[in-house]
């Protein structure tokens, strides 16, 4: 058995265990994303990084073996910053189509993004957690597909359309995905835009996003031959 | 040279018992100084005659032609053929040796002639058609046309006007320690290597205990020459103590950095030295099998190493019971499939095992848990060559070069806009300024020094005021560059720093294996951001993105490829921030390189109306306006710069 210091908490663990296992024993939670023991442990997502105290080195806790008197910090500024950028990088290459995603909102990525303040996942992902029908099927001009998730607001549970209070997602791919839904369900884009202006007209990028929305809608209509 | 000719490696008479099945301890020394077990004038004479033939050529005439990959690329093969032809025409019998590269890349192809009684002369930039003339004048005793001489004899015409090789600036500051045989010995002959004191280190190592070998390397202070600078002895002793059999040694000859070719040069010019180092390393850690992992793009290097291993095996220097020491070791040359990431040690191990070349998280380190899960030592080509030389020449001499923490010599490759390009071996601790301005002769004529990129795409860019930095592991790392493999790319004022940073980022982006998020996505984000800046769409925020993502990659990437990939950007942001800002704020490229940010115009006063530019323009953007003047239509111009090249009056300017 070796003694390890995790965030100042001393625990005794087997000599060949990982920092993640030691942290679990110490009752601390380190977020993971690509870690599936017995199936895939390759330390590729780098969300579970922790800092080796005193060295400033960030190491993935899921595979890094403990050694005697090893001291790590699991939640300092540098660690949180690294995790945030890792999540942003994952989102940058993630096809965000929560409405059609089989996970139906039960999504670890969403959870972590919310925890680390990463924007870019639409409200739909959260809405799906509460069940119920998508408001777009009732041709409601819901702003969920183009609004940042994280509000956990009352509208989600009440079945009210989203009014976009957490600000728009500016990623072109996400907006394209949203426009596909709007055009597909026959939601009027004018209604969407007028609702959008309620909270977002003071956004610095307001004009740009409106233009993007209209252009993409035009494109989508053209594609569908409407 | 006939194949059936007696060589030093063969038995001198029936009394000699050495063969690969019944090895003899004193085989190597016996071959050169022998015979040792019996006394026979004839056998002794036979050896003496053969040694002089190797050193001075058949009939006292020896012609060596630099035929490394670099020489071949500029036509050394033609020079070689022409030499054979010219000798035949004159009815002369001589040894014609295809030697490796001596490091004088800017002088290739090189031809060296030695004739007993005349000084040995080196001719640079030789063309096949001038070989006959060179031969004639040299044999007449006139060396005035040579580029350099190896020695002065005092009998030849024009001898005093030609500088000695050791006195020309490129070689004056060098200490040729591991590159001593480069360009001298025939790399395809084990006999040559033994004549030039080869395999003595191996003999000495086999005579001592493995622990003592590690101790000698420790005293020498040798650190890995592949980039990270980990002490070689420490790696060895961890591996020696590690549990698990068999143990392996791997020679990392996967040299992929643009602008670095010292490993290729060493392995092509002196493959036996690398092999010798590998056998010594195997003996020190107790390994029974080894691999040499060669980059597939360097086929000559792989061929030479394969040939060396084959020859060594034939004469009992490799294989079972090496030189009757009861130590057995064999080696296999593996050609990589050609990914840059294979140079990373864990990715290389995965490739040797037959998998996809992807690194894995360390620890556990290969020294305890490496190839096929067994303890493995991985050393770079240059490191192993150093090991062989340390064992033969003693650690004291090696440790007398270098600085406190970084001992010995290092081969650096100077490329880019340097006046003299090539590979140089200098003591570690020489300043960057000395290396560039004294050894390489500064930048090419008419240009101004701007920066130097040290350590390839993983290294950093240093400006002029950092040039007094000594080239050792610690100093370079603290300045934001790395020693890396030791490639120096000299950048002049005609290059845009942002463009260069983007070039290196595009390289690492393409070569990222894609396993971990920071490297796979981070390098793409960096590349896209730089492209935006270069195309004039950059904002202040972009510099923050570069720094944030770059630091993240540096801290959180899985392997050294990702950890060092942002170095070119982070170091240029540190030293050349004004150039980034000019692109972003003023939307202009100070070096006039980034095509989206420059415009072309014809100065009316200088234009003579010849119309060459209009003919050259690929998009017909240049039209005649008025009597003699030409005019560039900015909306059609693609900014290729062709018009500037053809204009005889320099009337076209970039703005």
* pLDDT tens digits along B510-535: 999 999 999 999 999 999 999 999 99
Cross-strand bridge partners of residue B461: B453
The pLDDT of residue B1 is above 60: no
B195-211: burial string, b at 16+ Cβ within 10 Å, e else? bbbbbbbbbbbbeeebe
Please report which helix (H) or strand (E) contains residue A208, including its range. Answer: helix A206-224
**Span B497-586 CATH architecture:** Up-down Bundle (1.20)
- A12 close to B (CB below 8 A): no
Nearest Cβ partner for B521 among A42, A43, A92: A92
CB A166 within 8 A of CB A125: no
CB B112 within 8 A of CB B64: yes
- Per-residue pLDDT band for A50 (boundaries 50, 70, 90) equals very high
Q: What are phi and psi of A57, to 5 degrees?
A: -80, 135
The pLDDT of residue A95 is above 60: yes
The pLDDT of residue B276 is above 90: yes
Matching residue, tokens 């800002």 = B581
CB B546 within 8 A of CB A110: no
The pLDDT of residue A79 is above 60: yes
Calpha distance A36→B172 (Å, rounded)? 60
The mean pLDDT value of chain B amounts to 90
| CATH H superfamily, domain B57-167 | Glutaredoxin (3.40.30.10)
Judging contacts by C-beta atoms under 8 Å, the chain A residues touching residue B557 are 46
Say whether B293 sits in a helix, a strand or coil.
strand
**CATH class of the domain whose range is B409-492:** alpha beta
Judging contacts by C-beta atoms under 8 Å, the chain B residues touching residue A85 are 518, 548-549, 552, 556
- A49 close to B (CB below 8 A): yes
Distance from CA of B336 to the nearest CA of A (A): 23
Neighbours of B4 (CB within 10 A): 5
- Per-residue pLDDT band for B34 (boundaries 50, 70, 90) equals confident
The pLDDT of residue B584 is above 70: yes
CB B138 within 8 A of CB B155: no
- DSSP 8-state assignment for residue A146: G
For A127, A179, A193, A226, B199, the CA distances from A141, given in Å and listed in that order, are 15, 11, 9, 19, 82
- Per-residue pLDDT band for B482 (boundaries 50, 70, 90) equals confident
Position B628 scores a pLDDT of 66
Q: Is the dihedral of CA B360, B366, B370, B371 positive or negative?
A: positive
Q: Furthest-apart CA pair in chain A: how many Å?
A: 69
Q: Do B361 and A86 touch (CB under 8 A)?
A: no
Distance from CA of A94 to the nearest CA of B (A): 11
Which of B455, B412, B84 has its CA nearest to residue B266? Answer: B412
What residues of chain B have any CB closer than 8 angstroms to a CB in chain A? 360-361, 363-364, 515-518, 520-522, 524-525, 548-549, 552, 555-558
The pLDDT of residue B654 is above 90: no
- Burial environment of residue B294 by CB neighbours within 10 A (0 to 12, 13 to 18, 19 or more): buried
Write down the domain spans for chain A. 2-83, 95-224
Distance from CA of B373 to the nearest CA of A (A): 16
Q: Furthest-apart CA pair in chain B: how many Å?
A: 97
Please report which helix (H) or strand (E) contains residue B66, including its range. Answer: strand B61-66
Distance from CA of B548 to the nearest CA of A (A): 8
Calpha distance B71→B82 (Å, rounded)? 15
Residues sharing a CB contact under 8 Å with residue B349, sequence separation 6 or more, in sequence order: B250, B366, B370, B371, B376, B378
Judging contacts by C-beta atoms under 8 Å, the chain B residues touching residue A43 are 361, 516, 558
Neighbours of B390 (CB within 10 A): 30
CB B35 within 8 A of CB B70: no
Strand order in the sheet with B460-463: B422-427, B409-416, B487-492, B449-454, B460-463
Which of B363, B410, B405 has its CA nearest to residue B385? Answer: B410
Position B202 scores a pLDDT of 94
CB B304 within 8 A of CB B187: yes
* Residue to test with chain A: of B521, B540, B556, most A Cβ within 10 A: B556
The ipTM estimated for the assembled molecules is 0.83
* More confident: B13 or B206: B206
| CATH H superfamily, domain B190-399 | NADH-ubiquinone oxidoreductase 51kDa subunit (3.40.50.11540)
Write down the domain spans for chain B. 57-167, 190-399, 409-492, 497-586, 599-654
- A207 close to B (CB below 8 A): no
- Is CATH 1.20.1070.10 the right assignment for the domain spanning B599-654? no
Q: Do A43 and B364 touch (CB under 8 A)?
A: no
How much of chain B exceeds pLDDT 70, in percent? 99
Out of A65-74, B4-13, B409-418, B508-517, pick the least confident. B4-13
Calpha distance B583→B529 (Å, rounded)? 12
For residue B38, the Cα-to-chain-centroid distance in whole angstroms is 44
Which of B381, B358, B377 has its CA nearest to residue B369? Answer: B377
Out of A10-19, B62-71, B323-332, B478-487, pick the least confident. B478-487
Which fold does the domain A2-83 belong to in CATH?
A: Ubiquitin-like (UB roll) (3.10.20)
The pLDDT of residue B2 is above 70: no
The pLDDT of residue B609 is above 90: no
The residue of chain B with its CA nearest to that of A57 is B555
CB B600 within 8 A of CB B571: no
Position B396 scores a pLDDT of 93
Distance from CA of B365 to the nearest CA of A (A): 11
The pLDDT of residue A226 is above 60: no
Residues sharing a CB contact under 8 Å with residue A133, sequence separation 6 or more, in sequence order: none
Calpha distance B104→B182 (Å, rounded)? 11
Residues sharing a CB contact under 8 Å with residue B261, sequence separation 6 or more, in sequence order: B69, B70, B255, B413, B423, B487
Strand order in the sheet with B61-66: B95-99, B61-66, B111-115, B121-123, B148-149
pLDDT tens figures, B377-425: 999 999 999 999 999 999 999 999 988 888 999 999 999 999 999 999 9
Which of A48, A57, A56, A55 has its CA nearest to residue A19? Answer: A48
Structure-block tokens of residue A148 = 């940042």
Residues sharing a CB contact under 8 Å with residue A150, sequence separation 6 or more, in sequence order: A113, A114, A119, A126, A166
The pLDDT of residue A224 is above 80: no
Instruction: Please report the number of interchain residue pairs, chain A to chain B, with beta-carbon separation below 8 angstroms.
Output: 59
Matching residue, tokens 């015409």 = B157
How much of chain A exceeds pLDDT 90, in percent? 33
Q: Classify strands A49-52 and A57-60 as parallel, antiparallel or unpaired.
A: antiparallel
pLDDT tens figures, B446-470: 889 999 999 888 888 999 998 998 9
The pLDDT of residue B631 is above 80: yes
- Per-residue pLDDT band for B3 (boundaries 50, 70, 90) equals very low
- DSSP 8-state assignment for residue B324: G
Calpha distance B296→B351 (Å, rounded)? 13
Residues sharing a CB contact under 8 Å with residue B536, sequence separation 6 or more, in sequence order: B583, B587, B594, B596, B597
Position B4 scores a pLDDT of 59
Q: Do A89 and B518 touch (CB under 8 A)?
A: yes
Q: Do B521 and A82 touch (CB under 8 A)?
A: no
pLDDT tens figures, B440-450: 999 988 889 99
Nearest Cβ partner for A82 among B364, B521, B556: B556
In the Cβ-directed half-sphere of A120, how many Cα atoms lie within 13 Å?
21
């Amino acid at each position: 058995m070796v003694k390890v210091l995790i965030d100042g908490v001393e625990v005794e663990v087997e000599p060949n265990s990982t920092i993640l296992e030691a942290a679990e024993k110490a009752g601390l939670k380190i977020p993971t994303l690509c870690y599936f023991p017995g199936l895939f442990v390759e330390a590729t997502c780098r969300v579970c990084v922790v800092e080796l105290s005193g060295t400033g080195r960030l190491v993935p806790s899921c595979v890094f073996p403990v050694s005697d008197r090893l001291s790590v910090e699991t939640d300092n500024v540098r660690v949180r910053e690294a995790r945030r950028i890792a999540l942003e990088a994952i989102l940058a290459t993630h096809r965000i189509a929560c409405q059609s995603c089989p996970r139906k909102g039960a999504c670890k990525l969403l959870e972590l993004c919310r925890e680390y303040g990463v924007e870019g996942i639409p409200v739909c992902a959260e809405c799906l957690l509460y069940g119920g029908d998508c408001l777009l099927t009732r041709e409601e001009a819901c702003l969920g597909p183009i609004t940042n998730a994280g509000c956990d607001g009352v509208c989600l549970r009440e079945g009210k359309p989203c009014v976009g209070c957490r600000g728009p997602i500016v990623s072109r791919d996400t907006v394209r995905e949203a426009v596909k839904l709007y055009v597909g369900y026959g939601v009027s884009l004018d209604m969407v835009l007028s609702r959008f202006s309620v909270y977002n007209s003071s956004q610095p990028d307001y004009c740009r996003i409106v233009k993007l929305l209209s252009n993409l809608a035009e494109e989508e209509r053209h594609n569908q031959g409407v | 040279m006939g194949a059936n000719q007696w060589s030093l490696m063969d038995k001198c008479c029936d009394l000699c018992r050495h063969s690969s099945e019944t090895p003899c301890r004193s085989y190597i020394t016996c071959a050169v100084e022998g015979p040792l077990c019996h006394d026979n004038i004839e056998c002794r004479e036979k050896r003496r005659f053969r040694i002089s033939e190797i050193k001075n050529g058949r009939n006292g005439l020896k012609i060596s032609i630099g035929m490394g990959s670099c020489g071949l690329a500029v036509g050394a093969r033609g020079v070689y053929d022409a030499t054979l032809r010219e000798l035949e025409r004159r009815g002369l019998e001589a040894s014609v040796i295809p030697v490796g590269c001596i490091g004088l890349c800017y002088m290739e192809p090189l031809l060296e002639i030695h004739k007993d009684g005349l000084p040995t002369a080196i001719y640079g930039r030789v063309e096949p058609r001038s070989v006959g003339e060179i031969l004639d004048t040299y044999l007449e005793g006139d060396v005035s046309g040579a580029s350099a001489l190896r020695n002065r004899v005092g009998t030849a015409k024009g001898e005093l006007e030609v500088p000695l090789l050791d006195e020309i600036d490129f070689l004056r500051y060098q200490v040729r320690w591991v590159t001593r045989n480069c360009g001298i010995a025939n790399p395809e002959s084990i006999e040559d290597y033994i004549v030039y004191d080869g395999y003595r280190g191996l003999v000495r190592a086999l005579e001592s205990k493995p622990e003592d070998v590690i101790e000698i390397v420790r005293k020498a202070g040798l650190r890995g020459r592949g980039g990270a600078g980990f002490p070689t002895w420490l790696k060895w002793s961890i591996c020696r103590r590690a549990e698990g059999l068999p143990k392996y040694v791997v020679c990392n000859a996967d040299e992929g950095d643009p602008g670095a070719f010292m490993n290729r040069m060493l392995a092509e010019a002196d493959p036996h030295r690398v092999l010798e180092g590998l056998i010594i390393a195997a003996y020190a850690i107790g390994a029974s099998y080894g691999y040499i992992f060669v980059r597939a793009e360097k086929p000559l290097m792989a061929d030479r190493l394969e040939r060396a291993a084959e020859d060594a095996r034939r004469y009992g220097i490799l294989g079972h019971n090496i030189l009757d020491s009861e130590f057995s070791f064999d080696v296999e040359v593996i050609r990589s499939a050609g990914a840059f990431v294979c140079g990373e040690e864990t990715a290389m191990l995965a490739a040797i095992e037959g998998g996809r070349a992807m690194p894995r998280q360390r620890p556990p380190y290969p020294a305890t848990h490496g190839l096929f899960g067994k303890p493995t030592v991985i050393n770079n080509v240059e490191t192993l060559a150093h090991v062989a030389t340390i064992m033969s020449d003693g650690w004291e001499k090696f440790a007398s070069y270098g600085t406190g923490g970084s001992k010995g010599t290092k081969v650096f490759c100077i490329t880019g806009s340097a006046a003299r390009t090539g590979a140089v071996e200098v003591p570690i601790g020489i300043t960057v300024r000395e290396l560039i301005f004294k050894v390489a002769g500064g930048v090419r004529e008419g240009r101004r020094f701007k920066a130097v990129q040290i350590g390839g795409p993983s290294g950093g860019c240093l400006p002029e005021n950092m040039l007094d930095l000594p080239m050792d592991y610690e100093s370079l790392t603290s300045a934001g560059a790395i020693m890396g493999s030791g490639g120096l790319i000299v950048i002049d004022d005609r290059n845009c720093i942002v463009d260069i940073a983007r070039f290196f980022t595009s390289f690492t982006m393409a070569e990222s294996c894609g396993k971990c998020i920071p490297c796979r996505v981070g390098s793409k984000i960096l590349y896209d951001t730089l492209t935006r800046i270069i195309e004039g769409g950059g904002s202040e925020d972009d510099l923050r993105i570069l720094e944030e993502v770059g630091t993240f990659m540096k801290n959180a990437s899985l392997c050294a490829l990702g950890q060092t990939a942002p170095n070119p950007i982070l170091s240029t942001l540190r030293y050349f921030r004004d150039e980034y800002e000019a692109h972003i704020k003023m939307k202009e490229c100070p070096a006039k390189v980034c095509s989206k940010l420059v415009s072309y115009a014809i100065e009316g006063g200088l234009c003579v109306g010849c119309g060459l530019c209009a003919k050259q323009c690929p998009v017909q953007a240049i039209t005649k306006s008025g009597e003699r003047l030409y005019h560039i239509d900015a909306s059609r111009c693609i900014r290729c710069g062709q018009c500037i090249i053809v204009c005889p009056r320099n009337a076209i300017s970039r703005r």
